[in-house]
């Protein structure tokens, strides 16, 4: 028996979470769901969108699966998704991107994985507002150390990329490649311009790559990478990226396979893992039993593999793939008329035969 924290989320979250839960249970795998609420709906009750008991539940169970959570613009509350990644040091963002028959897209032969660093880079949150005392002080310091700034009315964001942070993400990428039978890891960077951050990322990536002679190692400058992905995406396998490039390339690659509605994701640390689809809470469709549950169901495939339930993972993946390919019981975004729960039923029928 596995105990897993389930955070249904808000907007379309509860509908797709219920669909995912039923599909996973139909494989026969034994899971006790520790259901926890987070997000705007619990703000009034607990004064925070991420109450301590939700974090405690994930710390206790080590594994969580979550639906999307709305981050209201300008409300002043931090994204629960970002807070979870920080609190639990979930340094890996894993996004497998693959073509599925039955999903309209420009390509039909894509099978790559983005391994995005999740804690450093310009996302570290070290920022100084234009005109603030700290920004002015920092600019003074930089000028005293030889930095040339054409304009001083600048806001400043700092980009830390460390040896330790790079080593652990690159090692994860190679170990993942080995475990999943993949052939090549491509490090993405802009080392020609940012020598001390991206340059470090590239140097450490090459050093780690040498320790994995069975996996091919290569690198690409990020702008060239974008062009290559659009022209020859089939040449790529595992991409390991610093935080910002990983974020941008994930959406670019999602676009190659038919959009965000299909892409699963995982945030993984040394001790904990939180699995969540890439898409958001699509508030305009909430409560209509209309949206596509595939991204969260495919996310559960990653979760099942993570907890060692490979057979159940394969059953869920194959059934979802087949239902999408047949196109008879699919939701509106895939050109069908099925409801969220109807599509889940079709997947369950395939699993239980
Ligand atoms: P979104 O992904 O929620 O929706 C954009 C559009 O994509 C929707 O209007 C819909 O047309 C389509 N879509 C998304 N998921 C779908 C599905 N499962 N089936 C069919 N169509 C689907 O993006 P958004 O509108 O930018 O964000 C809405 C909210 O979600 C925001 O508050 C945002 O902060 C939040 N968000 C949360 C997460 C997360 O919890 N990890 C991720 C992204 C966005």
Q: How far apart are the CA of 282 and the centre of ligand 1, in A?
A: 4
Residue 166: closest CA among 252, 245, 58, 237: 245
Q: Distance from first CA to last CA of the chain, Å, rounded?
A: 24
Give me the helices (H) in 88-220, please: 133-144, 163-179, 198-210
Reduced to 3 states (helix: H, G, I; strand: E, B; else coil), residue 188 is strand
Residue 277: closest CA among 49, 119, 108, 69: 69
Q: What is the pLDDT of residue 75?
A: 59
Domains of the chain as residue ranges with CATH: 1-94+263-353 (3.40.718.10), 106-111+161-256 (3.40.50.2300), 121-159 (no CATH)
Atom of ligand 1 nearest to the CA of 291: 19
Protein residue closest via CA to atom 39 of ligand 1: 68
Residue 169: closest CA among 98, 214, 113, 129: 113
Containing 221, the helix (H) or strand (E) segment is strand 216-221
CB of 289 sitting under 6 A from ligand 1: no
- How are beta strands 266-268 and 92-98 bridged, if at all? antiparallel
Whether the CA torsion 197, 203, 206, 211 is positive or negative: it is negative
Q: What is the pLDDT of residue 200?
A: 98
Integer-rounded Cα Rg, in Å, for the chain is 21
Q: Please give the full DSSP string across 257-308, using - where no structure is assigned.
A: TT-GGG---EEE-SS-EEE--SS---GGGTTSS-S--HHHHHHHHHHHHHTT
Q: How far is CA 29 from the centre of its chain?
A: 24
Atom of ligand 1 nearest to the CA of 67: 40
Q: Distance between CA 225 and CA 215 in Å, rounded?
A: 19
Active site residues: 123, 190, 223, 247
CB of 292 sitting under 6 A from ligand 1: yes
Buried b vs exposed e over 300-330: b needs ≥16 C-beta within 10 Å?
bbbbbbbbebeebbebbbebbbebbeeeebb
Protein residue closest via CA to atom 1 of ligand 1: 280
Q: How far apart are the CA of 126 and the centre of ligand 1, in A?
A: 27
Q: How far apart are the CA of 184 and the centre of ligand 1, in A?
A: 32
Q: How far apart are the CA of 113 and the centre of ligand 1, in A?
A: 21
pLDDT along the chain (353 residues), means of 10: 95 96 98 93 85 95 95 71 89 96 91 96 91 96 93 94 98 96 98 97 98 98 97 96 96 88 93 94 94 96 96 98 96 95 98 93
Reduced to 3 states (helix: H, G, I; strand: E, B; else coil), residue 82 is helix
The count of other CB atoms within 10 Å of the CB of residue 51 is 17
CB of 81 sitting under 6 A from ligand 1: yes
CB of 238 sitting under 6 A from ligand 1: no
Q: Distance between CA 275 and CA 321 in Å, rounded?
A: 19
Most ligand 1 atoms within 8 A of CB, residue of 255, 261, 264, 280 to mutate: 280
CB of 279 sitting under 6 A from ligand 1: yes
Protein residue closest via CA to atom 27 of ligand 1: 280
Q: What is the pLDDT of residue 77?
A: 66
DSSP E strand boundaries for 69-198 = 92-98, 111-117, 127-128, 156-157, 184-189
Question: Can you read off the two tokens belonging to residue 78?
Answer: 């931090």
Question: Can you read off the two tokens belonging to residue 123?
Answer: 């996302």
Question: Can you read off the two tokens belonging to residue 284?
Answer: 């305009």
Protein residue closest via CA to atom 37 of ligand 1: 280
Give 223's contacts (C-beta < 8 A, 6+ positions apart).
190
- With beta carbons less than 8 A apart as the criterion, state whether 240 and 186 touch: yes
Question: Can you read off the two tokens belonging to residue 253?
Answer: 């690659």
Q: Distance between CA 309 and CA 252 in Å, rounded?
A: 31
Q: Distance between CA 217 and CA 185 in Å, rounded?
A: 5
Tokens 């059934």 locate to 319
Q: How far apart are the CA of 262 and the centre of ligand 1, in A?
A: 12
Exposure on the CB side of residue 28, measured as CA atoms within 13 A: 8
Q: How far apart are the CA of 70 and the centre of ligand 1, in A?
A: 8
Q: How far apart are the CA of 68 and the centre of ligand 1, in A?
A: 7
Most ligand 1 atoms within 8 A of CB, residue of 49, 118, 282, 291 to mutate: 282
Atom of ligand 1 nearest to the CA of 80: 40
How many distinct helices (H) and strands (E) make up the chain? 12, 12
CB of 216 sitting under 6 A from ligand 1: no
Q: How far is CA 258 from CA 3, 99, 226, 280, in A?
A: 33, 8, 17, 16
- With beta carbons less than 8 A apart as the criterion, state whether 253 and 225 touch: no
Atom of ligand 1 nearest to the CA of 333: 20
């Amino acid at each position: 028996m596995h105990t897993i924290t389930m955070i249904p989320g808000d907007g379309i979250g509860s509908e797709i979470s219920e669909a995912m839960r039923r599909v996973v249970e139909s494989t026969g795998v034994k899971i006790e769901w520790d259901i926890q609420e987070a997000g705007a709906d619990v703000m009034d009750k607990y004064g925070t969108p991420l109450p301590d008991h939700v974090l405690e539940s994930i710390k206790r169970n080590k594994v969580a699966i979550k639906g999307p959570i709305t981050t209201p613009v300008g409300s002043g509350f931090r994204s629960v998704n970002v807070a979870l990644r920080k609190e639990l040091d979930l340094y890996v963002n894993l996004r497998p991107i693959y073509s599925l028959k039955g999903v309209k897209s420009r390509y039909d032969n894509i099978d790559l994985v983005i391994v995005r660093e999740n804690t450093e880079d310009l996302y570290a949150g070290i920022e100084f507002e234009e005109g603030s005392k700290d920004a002015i002080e920092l600019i003074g310091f930089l000028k005293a150390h030889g930095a040339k700034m054409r304009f001083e009315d600048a806001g400043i964001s700092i980009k830390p990329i460390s040896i330790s942070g790079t080593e652990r993400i690159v090692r994860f990428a190679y170990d993942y490649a080995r475990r999943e039978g993949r052939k090549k890891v491509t490090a993405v960077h802009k080392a020609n311009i940012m020598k001390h951050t991206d340059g470090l990322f590239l140097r450490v990536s090459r050093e780690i790559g040498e320790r994995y002679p069975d996996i091919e190692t290569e690198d690409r400058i990020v702008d060239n990478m974008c062009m290559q992905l659009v022209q020859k995406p089939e040449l790529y396998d595992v991409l390991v990226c610093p935080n910002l490039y990983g974020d941008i390339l994930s959406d670019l690659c999602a676009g190659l396979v038919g959009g965000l509605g299909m892409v699963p994701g995982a945030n993984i640390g040394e001790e904990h893992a939180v699995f969540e689809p890439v898409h958001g809470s699509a508030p305009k469709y909430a409560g209509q039993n209309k949206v596509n549950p595939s991204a969260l169901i495919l996310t559960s495939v990653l979760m099942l593999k993570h907890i060692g339930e490979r057979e159940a993972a394969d059953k869920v993946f194959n059934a979802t793939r087949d239902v999408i390919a047949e196109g008879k019981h699919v939701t509106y975004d895939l050109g069908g008329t099925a409801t969220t729960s109807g599509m889940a039923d079709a997947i369950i029928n395939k699993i239980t035969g």
